[in-house]
Amino acid sequence: MARLIAILVGLGFTLVVLISFGVDTYTSITEPAPETAEHKFHLEPKAVSFPHDGVFGKWDTAQLQRGYVVYKEVCAACHSMKFVAFRDLADLGYTEPEVQALAAEWQVPGVDPQTGEAVLRAGEPTDYFPSPYPNAVAAAAANNNAIPPDLSLMAKARHGGAEYIYSLLTGYQEPSEELLAEFPEAAPGQGLYHNPYFPNLNLAMAPPLTATGQVSYEDGTEATIPQMAKDVSAFLSWTAEPTKVKRTQTGWPVLGFVLFATILAYLSKKQIWAAVKPAKRKD
């Protein structure tokens, strides 16, 4: 009886899902889903390598310092970075007085100790990077309703991570003739810019890196657009996960020890079982 009910229930679900299958398959054959511009012209991120990549990677502090300059001079005009504090910049190889000086270059919201009024004051190492806008409404209003996302976690919050950021920053271009011929509606509208690395091909951010020498690097590196893009991508990898190098460096001794213990456990298991293994019997 139980089996009979089960068979009926099973056939029921099977029937219903097969009807869905039939209907869907028929529909997709008779009315194939139209090809989309996103599907056909979207590009995967370019392959870029960073010194901190992989399980042996290390931060290149000179690169991170350059990336910080790009963030400060370019990105920070619109993007906040609220989970990163100035004190964290010590990771980039700055000394304590240097961190204090870097923090003091920023204006952060504060309170006047005499009057209690909201004021801007110089940043201190314990402060977090300030938002360029007082609130989300202001951010939307200033940017054609597209709120610039916070950059703290950007390298972890997008598929492709730092490579995606690099590709996006260096990927602005005019839409190809082929694209416009096939999908005229995919042409960037008012206030939008074409970029094949962006999921839907058009984004509201104007090309931020526009000219060689847009920022000046203290170490004399020439600030070409790819150089700036790469440096800031590396910097954002660090802001997304400042503990990344510590993580992989901790991983090796842990794995080494567990491997050692596992080998011992195997030998121990083997000798304990030796007595009951049939191979030991000569019968």
Residue numbers belonging to the annotated binding site: 75, 78-79, 205
CA distances from 7 to 1, 134, 149, 217 (A): 10, 63, 53, 73
CA distances from 133 to 129, 139, 205, 252 (A): 12, 5, 16, 43
Amino acid, single-letter form, for residue 48: V
Which residues share a beta bridge with 120? 109
Please report the DSSP string for 248-268 in residue order: HHHHHHHHHHHHHHHHHHHHH
Closest separation between CB of residue 83 and other proteins, Å?
A: 5
Q: Which is nearer to other proteins, 55 or 118 (CB)?
A: 55
Say if residues 110 and 121 touch (Cβ distance below 8 Å): yes
Q: Which is nearer to other proteins, 120 or 266 (CB)?
A: 266
Q: Which is nearer to other proteins, 73 or 87 (CB)?
A: 87
Closest separation between CB of residue 186 and other proteins, Å?
A: 17
Spatial CB neighbours of 146, under 8 Å, sequence gap ≥ 6 = 140, 203, 204, 205
Closest separation between CB of residue 224 and other proteins, Å?
A: 29
Which pairs count as long-range contacts for 97-105, CB under 8 Å and 24+ apart, including other chains? Answer: 99/125, 100/124, 100/125, 103/127, 105/72
Closest separation between CB of residue 1 and other proteins, Å?
A: 10
Spatial CB neighbours of 195, under 8 Å, sequence gap ≥ 6 = 168, 171, 172, 173, 201, 202, 203
Q: Which residues are annotated as a binding site for heme c?
A: 75, 78-79, 205
CA distances from 225 to 21, 214, 228, 268 (A): 51, 8, 5, 59
Q: Which is nearer to other proteins, 58 or 247 (CB)?
A: 247
Closest separation between CB of residue 23 and other proteins, Å?
A: 5
**Tell me, what DSSP letter sits at residue 118?**
E
Q: Which is nearer to other proteins, 27 or 212 (CB)?
A: 27
Say if residues 197 and 126 touch (Cβ distance below 8 Å): no
Upper half-sphere CA count for residue 266 (Cβ side, 13 Å):
6
Q: Which is nearer to other proteins, 159 or 218 (CB)?
A: 159
Closest separation between CB of residue 247 and other proteins, Å?
A: 6
